[in-house]
Structure formats: C-alpha cells, structure tokens
C-alpha cells in the first residue's frame, strides 16, 4: 500500500488534501504539522521519517508569513530550505518520492507574459529567496521529485485573502485593494486534486511544474468579484502598491504558465471565477 506523508496538515493545502484523501481508500495517509514533525529540527525530521518510512512525501508545510519573514531570516531559511533539503536527502536515500510546493515569489515580477518553469528566477523578498533555495536543494539532491509552484492560495481553511475580504467587506463601507499586482489565484482544493492526479498517474515525470487557476486578474479584480459573488455592498477602491507599503516587496506580475502540468499529467485547471464560486458557497452560504 502506498504510504503518503503530508506536511503542513493544518495549512490551507494540507487541510484540502486531508479532505480529498477519503476518496483514496487504497492509499495510507499520515498528516503532520509542526507539533508532530517540527520543520525547525532536522535531526527530528530524519528520526521521524526513519520510523514512519513513507513512500512519498507531499511537502506542503512552509513558513508563509511573507512580511514577518523579513525579520526571522534564519528560521525562515531553516523551514523553507534546510528542512526541505533534509526531506529530499531522506527520500533519495530511501527510494521515496517527493512532491514539494513552491511559489510564484521565486520570480521578480518584471515579466509581461506568463512565467514558464525554466524562466529566470530572481526573488525580491526573503520568503521567495528561501523557497528558491528549497527548490535548488531538491534539484541537487534527488531525481525523483516534482516541484509545483503555485500562487495566491486561498481555501475554506486557514488565513487567506478571500476570508479577509469577506470579513472586511461585512465590517466596512469601503476598502482599498491594490490593482497593480497581476496574477491568478489558486483554490487549494484544485491544487490538492492536481497533486492526487500526479500521484495516481502511471507515468511519474519529475521536474518543476506551475499550477494556479486559469485567468489573469489583479488583487483588486479578485476583491470586486468576492464582493459581487458574496452578495455584499462594500465599495472596493483600486489603489497602487505605493499606497500600501509592506515589509516585503511583492512581484507586480506573477502569472504562471500551466501548459506543462496540463500536457504532462493531464491535470484539469479550472477558471478562477468558477473555483471562487465553489469556495464562497462553503464560506458564505
């Protein structure tokens, strides 16, 4: 029986994988978060993996507080880079596979066309830098790994833009949302399903892949749609990133080209509007 370890089990993606795991009775899943397998302790990781002996690790756990990351550099590098390298080494030594989740923040956002997997990486914040280091460590250490870069993740679980917008739109008459950062959101449930499609595939193809929902929007466009679909009457104002200073810079453009994952694994990529509707039915019935 295939035994899959999922890290970051309380995060958005880990929670969605847990939700879909019941559709796979022939697979054994173990879900861990920082309490069961702390990613800031490499020795513990190895001991834990030696006891558990999974055939495949889905590395969904990460330090994702992008602004806070600028002030906790050592911890962020440990979780997003060194812990990932430790898992990759264990997988390499134990003939296990690895699916690792990375980010659009490995790019600088200066492109005008969707980023392909082999485009030049150049992170502009520490979170993106450590995620890139994690990718590079995997590529150095092992062959049997799939790295999936994703973007703007939201879900019914955890903290995310959609839930924050719903709360603010109910509390306030108007809000300001940046309109000069362009990309596509990712419904974590869609990503969870894509990961399971890869796991179930007869043909394991390692490498870097991109996944987000289809479309091209700004955060402002996203907020306008949340307001509309949520049946709310908040006024959404477009503002520039300059009016919204943050500790960490954000890429202005982070649209990901999904051609490779669609062609290689026949993964379904829903339109962002359709996925948002599904999530809002759960969050805002």
The set of catalytic residues is 127
b/e code 193-228 from CB counts within 10 Å (16+ = b): bbbbebbeeeeeebebbbbbbebebbbbbbbbbbbe
Residues shown for the chain: 285
Task: Take residue 82 and report the two structure tokens written for it.
Answer: 């060194």
Q: Cβ contacts of residue 77 below 8 Å, gap of 6+? A: 130, 133
Nearest to 217 by CA among 263, 134, 161, 140: 161
Integer Cα distance of 2 and 32 in angstroms: 17
Dihedral sign computed on CA atoms, order 276, 277, 278, 282? positive
Sort residue 151 into left (φ over 0), alpha (ψ -120 to 50) or beta.
beta
Q: Is 43 exposed, middle or buried (0-12, 13-18, 19+ CB in 10 A)?
A: exposed
Structure tokens at 113: 């066309």
Name the region of 136 (left: φ>0; alpha: ψ -120 to 50; beta: rest).
alpha
Phi-psi region of 280 (alpha: psi -120 to 50; beta: other; left: phi over 0): alpha
- Distance CA(193)–CA(201), nearest Å, equals 12
């Amino acid at each position: 029986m295939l035994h899959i370890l999922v890290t970051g089990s309380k995060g958005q993606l880990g929670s969605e994988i847990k939700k879909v795991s019941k559709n796979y009775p022939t697979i054994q899943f173990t879900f861990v978060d920082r309490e069961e397998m702390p990613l800031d302790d490499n020795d513990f990781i190895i001991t834990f993996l030696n006891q558990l002996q999974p055939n495949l690790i889905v590395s969904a756990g990460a330090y994702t507080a992008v602004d806070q990351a600028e002030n906790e550099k050592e911890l962020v590098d440990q979780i997003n880079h060194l812990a990932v390298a430790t898992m990759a080494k264990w997988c390499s030594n134990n003939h296990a596979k690895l699916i690792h989740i990375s980010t659009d923040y490995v790019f600088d956002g200066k492109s005008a066309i969707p980023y392909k997997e082999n485009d030049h990486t150049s992170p502009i914040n520490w979170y993106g830098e450590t995620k890139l280091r994690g990718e590079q460590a995997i590529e150095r250490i092992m062959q049997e790994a799939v790295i999936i870069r994703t973007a703007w993740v939201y879900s019914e679980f955890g903290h995310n833009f959609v839930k924050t917008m719903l709360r603010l739109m109910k509390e306030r008459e108007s809000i300001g949302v940046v309109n000069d950062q362009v990309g596509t959101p990712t419904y974590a449930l869609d990503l969870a399903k894509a990961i399971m499609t890869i796991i179930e595939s007869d043909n394991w193809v390692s490498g870097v892949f991109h996944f987000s929902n289809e479309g091209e929007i700004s955060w402002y466009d996203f907020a306008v749609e949340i307001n509309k679909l949520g049946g709310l009457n908040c006024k959404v104002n477009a503002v520039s990133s300059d009016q919204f200073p943050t500790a960490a810079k954000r890429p202005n453009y982070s649209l990901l080209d999904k051609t490779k994952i669609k062609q290689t694994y026949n993964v379904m990529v829903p339109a962002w509007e359709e996925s948002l509707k599904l999530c809002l039915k759960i969050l805002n019935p």
